[in-house]
Amino acid sequence: MPQRLDKELREINEGLYRVKHREEVEFDYKLELIGESLGESMANNLLICVGDGDNIGDVIDLHLLSGNLEEASKFSFQVKAALEDIATLAKSEIKASLIYVAGDDICFIVSADLNISDILTSYSEYFLKKTGKTMSFGVGRTSVEALICLRRAKVSGKGRVITSGGN
């Protein structure tokens, strides 16, 4: 039984990796299209913001492994609602162009003229208030920069906002 479970978990992880890799390729393509439609000078004045809930999967896994489907579902809906609220706030307050909201992730593009660190910190605080979990953000002028900053935020204590080049 444990070997079968281990094999199933490996297959799930491999499937998740393939999906995530495909999403990253699609994301870069969308950014390329946005840059082309905005023109080079406008695209240079933009920041890409990538947010990811911290340890969300662990909370859901714990509920599932405990056989508590109701709590897993409740928590999942809290995360979804919080991210949808953040997406709405970003679009209305800072005129963000939403790229995606999926699972516990969000990505949008904003003007580089904003004080984005303070704004994203407030979004992270909102997420914590609604879910009890922190959210990290990475910000950069390219998707690669944003993802590197997100990774740095997550490994440096979570619940952080890290920007590339001090933006």
Quick: pLDDT tens for 99-153. 999 999 999 999 999 999 999 999 999 999 999 999 999 999 999 999 999 999 9
| Axis-axis angle for helices 143-155, 2-38 (nearest 10) | 140
Range(s) of the domain holding residue 25: 1-39
Residues 143 and 85 in one domain: yes
Radius of gyration from C-alpha coordinates of the chain? 17
Would you list the DSSP string of 97-133?
A: EEEEEETTEEEEEEETTS-HHHHHHHHHHHHHHHHSS
Structure tokens at 81: 């609602």
In a shared domain, residues 24 and 61: no
**Whether residue 88 is found in the same domain as residue 118:** yes
pLDDT 10s digits, 46-74: 999 999 999 999 999 999 999 999 999 99
Count of structural domains within the chain: 2
How far is the C-alpha of 141 from the C-alpha of 50, rounded, in Å? Answer: 11
Question: Same domain, yes or no, for 25 and 2?
Answer: yes
Domain co-membership, 78 together with 146 = yes
Domain identity same for 63 and 80: yes
This prediction's pTM: 0.74
Q: The domain spanning residue 159 has which CATH number?
A: 3.30.70.270
Looking at the fold, whether 26 and 70 belong to one and the same domain comes out as: no
**C-alpha torsion angle, residues 116, 119, 122, 128 (rounded to 10):** -50
